[in-house]
Structure 1
Amino acid sequence: MLKVNNINVYYGNIQALKGVSLEVNEGEIVTLIGANGAGKSTLLKTLSGLLRPKQGTIEYLGKNLQKRAAQSIVKDGVIQVPEGRRVFSNMTVEENLDLGAYLRHDRAGIAKDKERVFELFPRLLERRKQSSGTLSGGEQQMLAMGRAIMAKPKLLLLDEPSMGLAPLMVKTIFEIIKEINATGTTILLVEQNANMALSIADRAYVIETGKVVLSGRASELQKSDEIRAAYLGGH
């Protein structure tokens, strides 16, 4: 579904991604793990069209993405939930969800997807008329994911969904990621909680200082001594 081939991305003179290649097959959850500043978020921003690679190609469903505008990438079903949630805090929960569907014109489909969001996140239903700025961090994360679902993603890019959340809420968010995937949405997940990410992913890539240094089945990487020492607290 997605094929990233040897991309180099710079911020000014600083090279953030160095020859990164990866693949995501339809129906998979693929996770990117790595330390802070390794280039994980840069990769997602590049896939979303917010940054341009200097070299290399990005193919999505057979089409080249590397020179496409961000809005046209969204239209094609590549939807990102950014790090730090970024909900519109002065708008209600429901207005945020409606905004997620702004490129769509299928009213019945939009209504059905909103019902689905409320089924996945009952708490958002309870707070649908509430201003988003008054929600807890976990509820804002639910809203950011719900808003992305309203855009009808084929490929969902999740950037650090567990960041700053209480352990119980992290567990809930990861269960919902599995549910979203089970209904047919392919997911590329960037996550610092490597253990949690590897426990739900099919495959994983490890990024260090802008390079992919390791890749494989998530279950195998979870058992690797090297990965455990570096990212799983040695347990």
Structure 2
Amino acid sequence: MLIINDIDVFYGNIQALKGISLEVKEGEIVTLIGANGAGKSTLLKTISGLLKPKRGSIEYLGAAIDGKPAQTIVKAGLSHVPEGRRVFSNMTVEENLELGAYLRNDREAIKKDLNHVFELFPRLLERRKQLSGTLSGGEQQMLAMGRALMAKPKLIIMDEPSMGLAPLMVKNIFNIIEMVNKEGVTVLLVEQNAHMALSVAHRAYVLETGKIVLTGSAKELQESDEVRAAYLGGL
């Protein structure tokens, strides 16, 4: 579904990604783990068209998308849940969700998807008329995920969905990620909580200082001494 081949990405003269290659197959949950500053968010921004690679290629569903405008990539069925939620705080929950469907014109299907988002996130239904800026961090994360789902994506890329959330809310968010995946949405997940990410993923990549240093099934990486020592607290 997604093939990234040997991409280099720079911020000015600083190279953030160095020859990154990875792939995501349809139906998978693939996770990228790594420390702060490893280049995880940069990679997601490059996939979704917010940054352009200096070298290499990105293919989504067999078509090149590197250098394409972000809205073209969303329209092709790839949604990005950004780090830090980025909800529109002076708009209601419902308005935020409707905005997620701004490239669609199938009104009846949009209504159906809105109801489905409310089924996935009952808390959002309770707060549908509330201003998004007044929500808790966990509720805003639910809203960011719901908004991305309103674009009807085939592939959803998520940046640190558990950041700053209470343990119970983290569990809830990961349950929903699994549920969305079972409904047919492929997921590429960037996450600092390596333990949770590896517990839901099928495969994983480890990113260090802009390079992929390890890859394998989630189970293999969970059992790797190197990964345990660096990311799983030595468990």
Return the TM-score normalized by structure 2: 0.99
Name 2:197's counterpart in structure 1.
197
The alpha carbon displacement at 1:220 in A equals 1.1
Distance (Å, rounded) in 2 between the aligned partners of 1:67 and 1:143: 28
How far the C-alpha of 1:184 sits from its partner, in A, is: 0.3
Task: Using the TM superposition, give the Cα deviation of residue 153 of structure 1 relative to its aligned residue in structure 2, in angstroms.
Answer: 0.7
Name the CA distance, whole Å, in 2 between partners of 1:166 and 1:224: 27
Query: Is 1:48–2:48 an aligned residue pair?
Result: yes
DSSP 3-state at the match of 2:157: strand
Give the alignment of 1:127-146 within 5 angstroms: 127-146=127-146
CA distance in 1, matches of 2:54, 2:36: 23
SS in 2 for 1:20: strand
Write the distance in 1 (CA, Å) between the matches of 2:212 and 2:67: 23
Partner of 2:218: 218
1:139 is displaced (CA, Å) by 0.2
1:134-190 C-alpha deviation (Å, 9 max, x unpaired) = 100000000000000100011100000000000000000000000000000000000
Inter-partner Cα distance in structure 2 for 1:135 and 1:28: 31
How many matched pairs? 235
Give matches, 1:146-185, under 5 Å: 146-185=146-185
Q: Specify the alignment match of 1:79 in structure 2.
A: 79
Identity across matched positions, percent: 76
Q: Secondary structure of the residue that 1:37 maps to in structure 2?
A: coil
User: Is residue 2:10 matched to residue 1:34?
Assistant: no
Counterpart-to-counterpart distance in 1, 2:139 and 2:160 = 15
- Which segments of 5 or more consecutive residues in structure 2 lack a partner in the other structure? none
Q: Secondary structure at the match of 1:230?
A: helix
- Within a 5 Å distance, the mapping from 1:81-120 to structure 2 comes to 81-120=81-120
Give the ranges of 4+ consecutive aligned residues of structure 1 lying more than 4 Å apart after TM superposition.
none
| Cα deviation digits, residues 34-67 of structure 1 (max 9, x gap) | 0000000000000000000000000111100112
Q: Which amino acid is the alignment partner of residue 36 of structure 2?
A: N
| SS of match in other structure, 1:71 | helix
Q: Deviations over 1:172-225 (max 9, x none)?
A: 000000000000000000000000000000000000000000000001100111
Aligned-partner Cα distance in 2 for 1:190–1:61? 21
CA distance in 2, matches of 1:70, 1:140: 22
Match of 1:10 in 2: 10
1:212 aligned counterpart, secondary structure: strand
> Partners of 2:144 and 2:135 in 1: how far apart?
12
CA offset at residue 108 of structure 1?
Answer: 1.0
Question: What's the RMSD between the two structures over aligned residues?
Answer: 0.4
Instruction: Find the residue that maps to 1:178 and give its secondary structure.
Output: helix
TM-score, normalisation: structure 1:
0.99
